[in-house]
Structure 1
Amino acid sequence: MCNACLIDSVRESALSRRDFFRRSAAAGLAATAAGTLAARPALAQSSGKVVDLTYTLTPEFPTFDGKPGISLDPDKDYAADGYKIWKVSFFEHSGTHVDAPMHFAEGGLSVDNLTAESLICPLCIIDLKAKAAEDPNAMVEPEDIENWISDNGDIPEGACVAMNSGWGAKMGDASFRNDPEGNFAFPGFAKSATDMLLGMGVASIGVDTLSLDPGNSADFAVHYSWLPAGRYGIENLANLDGLPASGATIFVGAPKHANGTGGPARIMAVL
């Protein structure tokens, strides 16, 4: 299926699922009120090392729909005004960014209503590089989560579970977004895995790719289930190789504009 056809198909599906979103968003808000995301997470002990997980957002940065995600136009300049100001315009889902529940759930939490507590999380990183080397549309599956737990212990409630597929090595190349035939091709989460993480009280999931769902997804099953459940996602994480599988704390500098469906964010991890 061509990229434009896929986007149109998903748009039609979104309209047909409007009632589902209303019900799911209500359920997600109820879960939040119950304390799943508002509870203070168990933070890692810090040694003082900070790793920046954020890409610099430029007009050339790859986006899902292929349009430039940001534009910068001069508003004030040193010669004429004595100081410098840019007028910055960007699409919410550009660069390293947050997907708020409202992105796929009418009536869901907007980015400005994400609790501060849910934006500071123990970070659990699942290494998917071997699978992604074999399959560009590889997925984090329940078995990968079980293996992580076997090696590292339980995933803390309120954690951010991130996928490290090694996709950052492709940044700047067309293969970050597409296969040679022009189809979307990049790793993501399987719905069966995110359903499992919902049951564990995980606050967020993160990927080092363009989407929470794999590139060949025809239905955005993770977006349609994870976000309406009141959780949030992070896309285009950088520098995950600089962190261990467990032991770091992630700080999600989500934007706070009213009624936002998400937005570019400065993401830091502290060891």
Structure 2
Amino acid sequence: MCVQGCMEAVRATAARAGLSRRGFFGRAGAAAAGFAAMAVEPTVVAAAPRSFERVVDLTHTLTPAFPGFFGAPLIELERRADFRKDGYNMQDWRLTEHAGTHLDAPIHFAETGASVEDIPADTLVVPLAVIDVAEKADADADYLLSRDDLVAWESRHGRLPAGCCVAMHSGWGRLATEDPARFVGRDVDGTLHFPGIAPEAATWLLKERDVIGLAVDTLSLDHGPSSDFKTHAIWLPAGRWGLENVANLDKVPAAGATLVVGLPKVKDATGAPVRLLALI
């Protein structure tokens, strides 16, 4: 019989040696038996080392009042069970796919293409490149992130990482809660005004760089006045995904972070609210 702490120590030794359980005991059965006979103190196995120091939440809290293209509410919650009455809490949700911080799947702008459940998991943990155009967007609410902005980023940080997500930081993220009317930017004629990504920039990224995702801190990949949503039409049918209403892009570095997209796996969904995390 193994004394307390024995098996934990054996497993830790096997892990350090890079051996499977079967391989370890097959090769070192005698040594393990001898080790088991010794009286040892309980071993505390250290947690696996992390390759990041902090986590930044890039997600807005989704509420019925969160601004959207079609007004509020984008989510409605109805009480199904109450703790005092039923012994547990539960709610029913009525939810718009493209609500709050969310992902656009390729099928969103194509007759055929990947829906949410088809997006490979290994394309949802990717390098993050943040392009800061906040000063330009402050001067022009309809600003379009351009190819020149991308080239300027690369001149400072090197070539965009393979398989990355390119995020536009326009400064609009804070307006979602601080000033929802300006966040949407609807004028007296009903036209919206907020920054987006130029179709030419999206085309360049498709042809010249290995980029899997686009992200914006505004309502849309296309800027507010767009009526043809050309950036969507270029980007999504090419098998890429897009993120909209991203928060806190001012809290992550321009380069070096890893983006984790927590995407619910809903069959045939054209998009879904997500929990975005930046590992730094």
TM-score, normalization by structure 2:
0.79
Q: Name the SS of the counterpart of 1:233 in structure 2.
A: strand
Structure with max Cα Rg: 2
Match of 1:229 in 2: 238
Q: Which amino acid aligns with 1:201?
A: D
Which of residues 98, 104, 113 is equivalent to 1:99? 104
Q: 1:177 is matched with which residue?
A: 184
Task: Name 2:63's counterpart in structure 1.
Answer: 58
Q: Please state whether the residue corresponding to 1:79 is helix, strand or coil.
A: helix
What percentage of aligned pairs have identical amino acids? Answer: 48
The one-letter amino acid of 2:141's match is P
On the 8 A contact 1:59/1:69 being kept in 2, the answer is: yes
Residue of 117, 121, 136 corresponding to 1:116: 121
1:193 aligns with 2:201: yes
Contact 1:55 1:237 in 2 (8 A): yes
- Tell me how far 1:65 sits from its aligned partner: 1.4
2:267 partner SS? coil
Alpha-carbon distance between aligned partners in 1 of 2:240 and 2:143, rounded to the nearest angstrom: 22
1:254 aligns with 2:263: yes
Q: Distance in 2 between the 1:119 and 1:70 partners?
A: 24
Q: Which residue pairs with 2:6 in the alignment?
A: none
Asked if 1 retains the 8 angstrom alpha-carbon contact of 2:193 and 2:224, the reply is yes
Q: Is the 8 A contact 1:142 1:193 kept in 2?
A: yes
| Aligned residue number for residue 79 of structure 1 | 84
C-alpha distance in 1, partners of 2:121/2:165?
14
How far is 1:131 from its partner? 1.0
Q: Paired residue for 2:213, among 204, 211, 229?
A: 204
Q: Secondary structure at the residue paired with 2:174?
A: helix
Give the Å deviation of 1:255: 1.6
Change in Cα spacing, 1:107 to 1:179, as seen in structure 2 (3 Å) is closer
SS in structure 2 of the partner of residue 186 of structure 1: coil
User: Relative to 1, partners in 2 of residues 1:63 and 1:179: Cα closer, same or farther, differing over 3 Å?
Assistant: closer
| Alignment match, 1:135 | 140
Give the 3-state SS of the residue equivalent to 1:195 in structure 2: helix
Q: Is the 8 A contact 1:255 1:262 kept in 2?
A: no
The C-alpha deviation readout for 1:41-73, integer Å capped at 9, x for no partner, is xxxx93321000001100000011113110010
Alpha-carbon distance between aligned partners in 2 of 1:162 and 1:54, rounded to the nearest angstrom: 14
Paired position in structure 2 for 1:216:
225
Distance 1:224 1:67 in 2: 26
Deviation at 1:180, TM superposition (A): 4.5
Question: What SS does structure 1 have at the residue aligned with 2:205?
Answer: helix
Amino acid in structure 2 at the alignment position of 1:192: E
Q: Which residue of 2 aligns with 1:265?
A: 274
**In 1, are the aligned partners of 2:174 and 2:247 still within 8 Å (CA)?**
no
Cα distance in 2 between the residues matched to 1:198 and 1:48 = 32
Deviation at 1:87, TM superposition (A): 0.6
Instruction: Report how far residue 230 of structure 1 moved.
Output: 0.5
Q: CA deviation at 1:179?
A: 4.3
User: 1:151 corresponds to which residue?
Assistant: 156
User: Shift of the alpha carbon at 1:100?
Assistant: 0.2
* Structure 1 vs Structure 2 CA RMSD: 1.1
* Per-residue deviation, 1:169: 2.7
Aligned partners of 1:153, 1:164: CA distance in 2, in Å?
A: 18
Task: Please say if residues 170 and 195 of structure 2, whose CA atoms lie closer than 8 Å, have aligned partners that are also in contact.
Answer: yes
Contact 1:137 1:188 in 2 (8 A): yes
Q: Which moved more, 1:178-187 or 1:236-245?
A: 178-187
C-alpha distance in structure 1 between counterparts of 2:88 and 2:115, whole Å: 34
Residue identity opposite 2:195 in structure 1: P
AA aligned opposite 1:153: G
SS of the equivalent of 1:171 reads helix
**Structure 2 CA distance, aligned partners of 1:116 and 1:220?**
27
2:65 touches 2:72 (CA, 8 Å); kept in 1? no
- Rounded to whole Å, the distance in 1 between the matches of 2:114 and 2:187 is 38
Q: Could you tell me how far apart the structure 2 residues matched to 1:87 and 1:179 are? A: 31
